[in-house]
Structure 1
Amino acid sequence: MTSDFESTASSSQSSSSNSQFVFYIVESLVVIGVFALAAFTFTAEDSKTLTYGVVGLVALSILLILNRKSLNNLNQTTKQLENQKKAELYSYLTGSNGGDEVAAINLIRSRAIQYSQELIDDYKKIRQNSRNFYYIFQISTIVLSSLTPILVLLDKVEVSIPAIKWLPVIFPAIAAIVTSISTSFPLQENWVAANTAVELLEAEQEKFILGVTADYRFYDLADDPNQQKQKVLQSVESFMLQVNQIHLKQVQQSSKSEKNTESNQTNTDSNS
């Protein structure tokens, strides 16, 4: 029974990975086609070629959107199947052969796992976006600040292009704006908080799936189906409470961090 479960899970994961790979290949080819066609269109000299180029860009853009939507639907379906497989571990741990009660319990567990997985995915997006923006702003500040002394030397050089003389003014202004934006938003704090939430939620989910703690252990009550069912429902309730507590704690910390950032920004503005 366990081998059948493993083979089914591995085959579904393999087919899903292959499908995702195809969608990514199509998306990459479409993006390359968009850039190539855009370059060809903007360099076109006659209106007929320009028209065909614009129509081609619209068609490729629509294809890119449809491909991305199909990929998102596939990812969503794959996640639902993974959550279902995780929930069905109950049947294999208890040695149950199926039935309406087992199916109902698997459905309840699947919904609880899906809820926690949605939170995990949301926190992963927050972690990735905060980390990327943090690095972009930090690198941009370093680069712009490093270029400022070099650009100041342009005042000492005779330059025939008037626009270049404005660079020593424009780059420091951009650096000041980037620095102000990076300090106005707690990107690093959000990144660390989201990473902590992901680790806590994933750890709690694994405990629930495998039943390795007393609150989630239910498969040792196989001799008493009623008591086992009651224990499963209690484990789901305990799991949902733990997940909500982790989520609520992160929301409160994020709100507190934003208030502190706004307070610091207000104090800075008043002092200046």
Structure 2
Amino acid sequence: MFILKLLEYLLAAAFVCAGIVLTVYADNKNLLISGIIALTILSFLFLFNRQLFQDSQNTAYRYSIIKKAELYSYLLNNSNSVFDSNQIVPAREKALQYCQDLIDDYKKARNLSRNLYYVLQISTVILSGITPILVLVDKLEAGQAWLKWLPVICPAIASIVASIVTSFPFQKNWVAANTTLELLEAEQEKFILGVTPAYRCYDLSDTSQQQQKASQAIEQFIVQVNNIHLQQVQQASEVQQEKKESEKTNTNNSETDDKS
């Protein structure tokens, strides 16, 4: 997959270079036609390589889930265990895939909230910091009319960005998603290795008891994963409800002040 990713970067760089060449030599019709053909071919190769990379990534992801599902069978001393007969492994694969999908979703939510929080905070600091400098620039006779608007535009943008940070709890969402992510990853590792009594069946010698315990472990794992996920959803719903109640209270207070 490293080669495919490297090829993707090379194709993107070639696409940008071809675009720059077409912009510089736009008057040359022969070069323009050749450049358009080259851009079309590069676009096709880029999309094909990206799809190939996605397929390879999905195959590696599937293989990783299968290996995790089969890892527990190595702890069993019975050679004729239910894991060797493939009675439990497909169910464990489905359970692990369900948990891994939630983990990937929470990773995306965590990274998105964290990046937005940092970008907005840094933007607010930069815009607030350069405002005094722009005020000094405005007093100079630079001869540029648009410079006079910068001391007004930058504080306005900084105020808007600060309002966005205040209105949307990016930091809380980031911390909550990270906490849930760690809980899901810990629960997944417990299930894979069978380190807790609820997930352990390798200390049983009877095959039927192993199968019953393994089925109960899968059920317990799904229930535990759902509890962790639903707890996060419930917390998010409570935050939204508190926000609505706060806005309603502020509206009622403002109406009362207007009447008085």
TM-score normalised according to structure 2 size: 0.88
- Superposition deviation, residue 191 in structure 1: 0.7
Q: CA separation in 2, counterparts of 1:37 and 1:108?
A: 51
CA RMSD of superposed structures (Å): 2.3
Q: CA separation in 2, counterparts of 1:44 and 1:180?
A: 45
Query: What is the count of residue pairs matched by the alignment?
Result: 252
- Superposition deviation, residue 180 in structure 1: 2.0
1:12-161 → structure 2 map (5 Å cutoff): 20-46=1-27, 47-97=29-79, 102-161=85-144
Q: CA separation in 2, counterparts of 1:57 and 1:97?
A: 59
2:65 and 2:93 in contact (8 A); partners too: yes
The 1:98/1:82 distance shift into structure 2, 3 A limit, reads farther
- Superposition deviation, residue 204 in structure 1: 0.4
Q: CA separation in 2, counterparts of 1:260 and 1:156?
A: 47
1:130 and 1:190 in contact (8 A); partners too: yes
- Superposition deviation, residue 34 in structure 1: 2.0
Amino acid at match of 1:253: Q
Deviates more, 1:255-264 or 1:194-203: 255-264
- In structure 1, the residue matched to 2:257 is none
Q: Secondary structure at the match of 2:199?
A: coil
Deviates more, 1:20-29 or 1:71-80: 71-80
TM-score normalised according to structure 1 size: 0.84
Q: Deviations over 1:126-184 (max 9, x none)?
A: 11111111111111111011111111112211121212221112212221222222222
- Superposition deviation, residue 65 in structure 1: 2.6
Q: CA separation in 2, counterparts of 1:49 and 1:266?
A: 63
Deviates more, 1:69-78 or 1:22-31: 69-78
Deviates more, 1:38-47 or 1:252-261: 252-261
Q: Secondary structure at the match of 1:166?
A: helix
Residues 1:232 and 2:214 are matched in the alignment: yes
Deviates more, 1:104-113 or 1:232-241: 104-113
The 1:116/1:151 distance shift into structure 2, 3 A limit, reads same
- Superposition deviation, residue 99 in structure 1: 7.9
Q: CA separation in 1, counterparts of 2:72 and 2:114?
A: 37
2:82 and 2:210 in contact (8 A); partners too: no
Q: Deviations over 1:173-231 (max 9, x none)?
A: 2212222222222111111111111110010011111111110011111x211111000
Unaligned runs of 5+ in 2: 255-260
- Superposition deviation, residue 90 in structure 1: 3.0
2:117 and 2:170 in contact (8 A); partners too: yes
- Superposition deviation, residue 79 in structure 1: 1.4
- In structure 1, the residue matched to 2:195 is 212
Q: Secondary structure at the match of 2:196?
A: coil
2:183 and 2:228 in contact (8 A); partners too: yes
Residues 1:190 and 2:190 are matched in the alignment: no
2:81 and 2:207 in contact (8 A); partners too: no
The 1:161/1:197 distance shift into structure 2, 3 A limit, reads same
- Superposition deviation, residue 267 in structure 1: 6.6
